[in-house]
């Protein structure tokens, strides 16, 4: 008789929730906690060894934070309709918390969209509204040599949904750009084994993007032309699961080759 022992490992992750999606998105697809839990759970299960995720969500819009920032292996900062340079109390509180995590813990920090931008602002970089305008929906993003090395891949591009007008223009010290598009040269960054940030949304399904586009077309933010161009490509294949496995690997400490 053979005995197989499968050892499951644990990762303790805090989500710092920076927005509540539109009600129609929450009702059909879930809030940010559900969107990221779905994405990351799949990646964690296929990791070798399999990883059990222990997730706590903190609504930082309402000032909720972990009492002891050092108990988590990793932090994930979500997207938001707000701008990382907005002078709002909750955003300056969030930047202070990022600085605390940076200085007083060994936690790994992953930022998505607004999360990517607010990490840059907190640690000495800069974010502005992009004069090139919005980047919306399905996008093919270039992965540079540094990105390929850090992400342990031969991939030269990744496909991901976008929803942003702001972008990072100045990196914090010790951060490196790993992905870019012509309109947004700083699409993703890495800093040692501590920070991984990305402008796109690996947690957005095409349905989520469709709802945002529908709402922003109705409110006049996106023109008919822009909206229909986005909807034409929104169901194209994406590399979300691949990137989710990179996120799990980054949190775990070794990014597997793929
Ligand atoms: C790349 O992945 C392989 C196996 O998946 C691993 O052994 C190696 O340490 C990784 N390299 C880096 C630089 O992370």
Q: What is the DSSP secondary-structure string of 63-99?
A: T---SSGGG-SEEEE---SS-TT---HHHHHHHHHHH
d(CA 192, CA 110) in angstroms, rounded, equals: 12
Q: Are 209 and 234 in contact (CB under 8 A)?
A: yes
Q: Are 58 and 15 in contact (CB under 8 A)?
A: yes
Take atom 14 of ligand 1 and give the residue whose Cα is closest.
255
46, with CB counted inside 10 A (0-12, 13-18, 19+), is middle
Residue owning the nearest CA to atom 12 of ligand 1: 152
The residue whose C-alpha atom lies closest to atom 8 belonging to ligand 1 is 256
CB count within 10 Å of CB 146 equals 14
Q: Which of 81, 87, 86, 84 has the alpha carbon at shortest distance from 98?
A: 84
| Closest C-alpha among 216, 239, 240 to residue 228 | 216
- Nearest atom of ligand 1 to the alpha carbon of 255: 14
Find the 210 Cα to ligand 1 centroid distance in Å: 37
- What pLDDT, on the 0 to 100 scale, is given for residue 54? 97
Q: What integer pLDDT is reported at residue 107 of this predicted model?
A: 98
Q: How far is the CA of 256 from the centre of ligand 1 (A)?
A: 5
Helix or strand (DSSP H, E) at 257: none
pLDDT, averaged in runs of 10, over the chain (258 residues): 66 98 97 98 94 97 97 97 98 98 98 98 98 97 98 98 98 98 98 98 98 97 96 98 98 95
Span from the CA of 258 to the centroid of ligand 1 (angstroms): 9
Our measurement of the distance from residue 115's CA atom to the centroid of its chain's CA atoms, rounded to an integer in Å, reads: 6
Cis peptide bond N-terminal to 49, omega within 30: yes
Give the Cα separation of 176 and 171 in Å (integer).
7
Question: What is the model's pLDDT at position 6?
Answer: 61
- 100 C-alpha vs ligand 1 centroid, how far in Å? 30
C-alpha closest to that of 51 among 9, 104, 5? 9
Distance from C-alpha of 142 to C-alpha of 126, rounded to nearest angstrom: 21
Are 96 and 62 in contact, with CB atoms under 8 Å apart? no
Q: What pLDDT score does 2 carry?
A: 53
Measured between alpha carbons, how far is 32 from 13 in angstroms, rounded to an integer? 14
In this predicted structure, what is the pLDDT of residue 115? 98
pLDDT score recorded for residue 4? 55
pTM for the whole structure: 0.96
Q: 120: which 2 tokens?
A: 């840059």
Give the integer Cα–Cα distance in Å for 145 and 150.
9
pLDDT of residue 5: 58
């Amino acid at each position: 008789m053979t005995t197989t022992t499968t050892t499951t490992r644990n990762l303790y992750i805090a989500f710092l929730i920076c927005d509540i999606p539109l009600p129609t998105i929450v009702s059909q697809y879930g809030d940010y906690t559900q969107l990221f839990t779905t994405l990351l759970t799949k990646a964690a299960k296929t990791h070798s060894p399999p990883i059990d995720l222990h997730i706590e969500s903190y609504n930082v819009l309402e000032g909720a934070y972990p009492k002891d920032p050092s108990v988590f292996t990793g932090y994930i900062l979500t997207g938001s309709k707000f701008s990382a340079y907005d002078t709002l109390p909750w955003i300056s509180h969030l930047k202070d918390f990022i600085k605390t995590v940076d200085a007083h813990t060994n936690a790994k920090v992953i930022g998505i969209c607004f999360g990517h931008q607010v990490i840059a602002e907190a640690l000495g970089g800069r974010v502005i509204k992009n004069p090139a305008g919005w980047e919306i929906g399905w996008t093919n993003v270039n992965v540079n040599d540094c990105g390929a090395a850090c992400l342990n891949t031969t991939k030269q591009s990744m496909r991901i949904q976008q929803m942003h007008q702001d972008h990072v223009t100045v990196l914090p010290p010790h951060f490196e750009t790993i992905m870019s598009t012509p309109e947004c040269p700083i699409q993703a960054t890495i800093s040692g084994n501590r920070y991984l940030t990305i402008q796109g949304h690996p947690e957005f399904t095409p349905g989520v993007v469709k709802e945002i586009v529908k709402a922003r077309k109705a409110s006049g933010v996106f023109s008919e032309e822009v909206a229909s161009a986005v909807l034409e490509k929104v169901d194209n294949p994406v590399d979300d699961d691949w990137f989710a496995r990179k996120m799990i690997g980054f949190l775990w400490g070794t990014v597997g080759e793929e």
